[in-house]
Amino acid sequence: MKYLLLFSVFIAFTGFSQELITYKTADDYKNNKGTVYEEYVSNSYAGSNYTLKLTQNGETVKVKCEEIWGFTYKEAFFRVPEGKGQPFRLLMEGKICYYEDGSSHLKALKTGNDMVEMNGQFQYFSKDKFSEMVFFSQASMKSLQKSYPEYAEVFDCVKTTMKQYNIDAVNAFKVCCAAFNGEVAE
């Protein structure tokens, strides 16, 4: 009986649930001090301020993304850039961290659909999981290259990839971040 109880506890904490855990700060995340919700229901937004609709103790609750640092859902990690109210999913972590629009990824995770339909094409990057998130756009590439010389290889790759394969900066940035980290972009 003791082993059955331990197995039940193990199952509850190994990703077989639909739970979503929010973290108010990076330190909360590092110290595993989050607020656990039973299930992600949906999200809504007004402008760029997203609200997560979740269940807790059988009740529906709303959590404003602008009030949290990040969250996990189904083993996926999401961050909210400081001063913003929109979540972004961390897709690559290495020499550069790469993030995409979280709303689209939440929907894909909820439905079990591997195909992510992007709502807009917003991308961020950071030096590591805990550092400032920086918005990427083709228009800001010159200033980004000056501000982040350690990623010159990524920005040069974006320019080359756009010309060579006739693709937009958004897709090129994903491919180049993956190459910089020694990965293959999906």
Q: What six digits make up the tokens of 50?
A: 């997203």
Mean pLDDT of the 126-132 span: 96
Torsion region of 32: left, alpha or beta (phi above 0 gives left; psi -120 to 50 gives alpha): left
Residues 73, 30: Cα–Cα separation, whole Å: 16
Q: What is the pLDDT of residue 6?
A: 35
Closest to 72 in 3D by CA, of 92, 87, 60, 56? 87
What's the pTM value of the predicted model, to 2 decimals? Answer: 0.85
Mean pLDDT of the 135-157 span: 94
Q: What six digits make up the tokens of 64?
A: 């404003």
Residues 43, 52: Cα–Cα separation, whole Å: 4
- In this structure, what DSSP letter does residue 53 have? E
Mean pLDDT of the 77-100 span: 95
Query: Tell me: the pLDDT tens digits for 100-124?
Result: 989 889 988 998 887 776 655 689 9
Residues 111, 107: Cα–Cα separation, whole Å: 6
Mean pLDDT of the 161-177 span: 91
